[in-house]
Structure 1
Amino acid sequence: MADVPALVEQAREGRPRAVARLISLVEGASPQLREVMAALAPLTGGAYVVGITGSPGVGKSTSTSALVTAYRRMGKRIGVLAVDPSSPFSGGALLGDRVRMSEHASDPGVYIRSMATRGHLGGLAWAAPQAIRVLDAAGCDVVLVETVGVGQSEVEIASQADTSVVLLAPGMGDGIQAAKAGILEIGDVYVVNKADRDGADATARELNHMLGLGEARAAGDWRPPIVKTVAARGEGVDEVVEALEKHRAWMEERDVLADRRRRRAAHEVETIAVTALRERIGDLRGDRHLPALAERVVGGELDPYAAADELVAGLTGE
């Protein structure tokens, strides 16, 4: 059994092994998870969470690494959660070594963790909210969450981040992808990466046009900026940081940031509660209550809604 108070104290001191151990307890759904979360709760709320998403090949890892460099120049401690596709056999992440961020591996002010989706839809690992909390409590000023590029499902990052950055690149059909994936609703900052390629200006114009066709904005509403970068050379990255800081200031001024965090916490609580209920339903399968209800539905004695009502009554004792 892990010594949770000692691990939390060591994580607060910036010791990477303690942070790694806490995130491992989260990922493994350890029996000590409740103790970990209870210990971390008073220590959280200071980190600015930035979600980075986009289709495969747009340069998410390179852009994330460039943002780490820019924030480190500002003296900020950075946490990176890089969520990778999972092996369907081992559950392991395909890019666990994060070779494209290796330049930061020896920096004590940067903590990089690869997490596997383990088949979870939406581009995020199921444990990501708790892992974000670990990095927050460990004193990270900014937490960058780089998601799997999974097309239409990647919009889930909007429910986990304070600010969502959507990356696009010229020549990859991202304009069509943006229109169909709900990305126009979730982006707070848009980045056209690989802007040294032909078609970058056209991609930015197309994106600007589609944003203009979106919902009408009232005076004072946030209009997502479009920033062009060449992340591999660090070009335009300072402008992205500037856009992020402007969005954060705008949210704080209008209490939007606090509202987003409340909604994020509500979503997390709901997810935990639903998971607990599913486990209890699984227990009912073992005592034949659910199969008996299913048999009555098949036989026409019960409709599925009435059967569900009986199942819920069995769970709640009502």
Structure 2
Amino acid sequence: MVEDGSPALRELMAILAPHTGGAYIVGLTGAPGVGKSTSTSALVTDYRARGKRIGVLAVDPSSPFSGGALLGDRVRMQEHATDPEVYIRSMASRGHLGGLSAATPQALRVLDAAGCEVILVETVGVGQSEIEVASAADTSVVLLAPGMGDGIQAAKAGILEIGDVFVVNKADRDGADATARELNHMLALGERREAGDWRPPIVKTVASRGEGVGEVVEALEKHRAWLAETGKLAVRRRARAAAEIEAIAFAVLRSRFGSLHGDSRIAVLADRVVSGALDPFAAADELLESVE
């Protein structure tokens, strides 16, 4: 219902609203090949050992030609397929930029209301443009791996700013220590923190063997506690709700304007702009007034 934009979605969200707000949402992002799906699976294993009920939203890129998606993230999470306390959902981005799917906020609400204590959101993995996950999550994890040029990627705008926890995965490879050092240097260069501010930790892991994953979970729990103590958790969730409201409002406006394609009102306004009788801004104002 969420992904298809069902007409019953409004009623569903109204019913679920009183049951939301209890889940801790963790976003995982990073370039392709750093081991996001393997790390997500390893985090599920660790959290399940702690008795937590887990939800996973794994967003896969959609083909710009067919609109389809492989939805292959679940292949790496087969060990959890029969666990009734783990729900894994692959979602197609359907052309939505920012690393997530447009349906992600409502999907998170469904998993939250269903009693998932921790929800892991794995992004598409297309590079440094994927900063939208920061606004969808309570804590953002940025994954890197040695030998992939990620040290340089990490310096680019957006990635350093969104990371609450940095993970250097595949740490059994040569260059892992150098990647961690370079990342630490980059973080220090961009540091404008005051006393009491959160300093993102850097954790080295070998997710395929489960090494270091417990340290990642400990770092996540520390950040969660810091958010709660400082009041930042409420601030982030308020911003998330505001972004969701804005997105829904824009979607409604887009649907209204979509029905105007080929409308005679636009043709008349266009003629007046071409003749110089009206400027395009005034024409847009008139169109907005007629739509309202």
TM-score for both structures, normalised by structure 2:
0.97
Q: Deviations over 1:222-261 (max 9, x none)?
A: 0000000000000000000000000000000011001100
Instruction: Quote the residue 2:182 is aligned against.
Output: 206
Q: Deviations over 1:176-196 (max 9, x none)?
A: 211124101100000000001
CA contact (8 A) 1:169 1:193 kept: yes
1:278 equivalent to 2:285? Answer: no
Instruction: Quote the residue 2:273 is aligned against.
Output: 297
* Structure 2 runs not aligned, ≥5 long: none
Of the three residues 18, 32, 35, the one matched with 1:42 is 18
Instruction: Quote the residue 1:11 is aligned against.
Output: none
1:263 equivalent to 2:239? Answer: yes
1:232 equivalent to 2:199? Answer: no
In structure 2, distance between residues paired with 1:293 and 1:84: 41
Q: Name the SS of the counterpart of 1:203 in structure 2.
A: helix
Cα distance, 1:90 vs structure 2: 4.0
- Please tell me the residue identity of whatever aligns with 1:188: D
Of the three residues 42, 56, 61, the one matched with 1:66 is 42
1:88-237 to 2 correspondences below 5 Å: 88-96=64-72, 98-237=74-213
In structure 1, distance between residues paired with 2:73 and 2:173: 28
Cα distance, 1:198 vs structure 2: 0.6
In structure 2, distance between residues paired with 1:117 and 1:163: 21
Q: Name the SS of the counterpart of 1:113 in structure 2.
A: strand
Q: Name the SS of the counterpart of 2:214 in structure 1.
A: helix
Instruction: Quote the residue 1:6 is aligned against.
Output: none
Instruction: Quote the residue 1:13 is aligned against.
Output: none
TM-score for both structures, normalised by structure 1:
0.89
User: Matched residue pairs, number?
Assistant: 292
Q: Deviations over 1:76-119 (max 9, x none)?
A: 00000000011334433213461100000000010000000011
Instruction: Quote the residue 1:16 is aligned against.
Output: none
CA contact (8 A) 1:84 1:116 kept: yes
Of the three residues 251, 259, 272, the one matched with 2:227 is 251
In structure 2, distance between residues paired with 1:47 and 1:127: 18
Percent identity between the aligned chains?
78
CA contact (8 A) 1:93 1:114 kept: no
Q: Name the SS of the counterpart of 1:180 in structure 2.
A: coil
Cα distance, 1:296 vs structure 2: 2.6
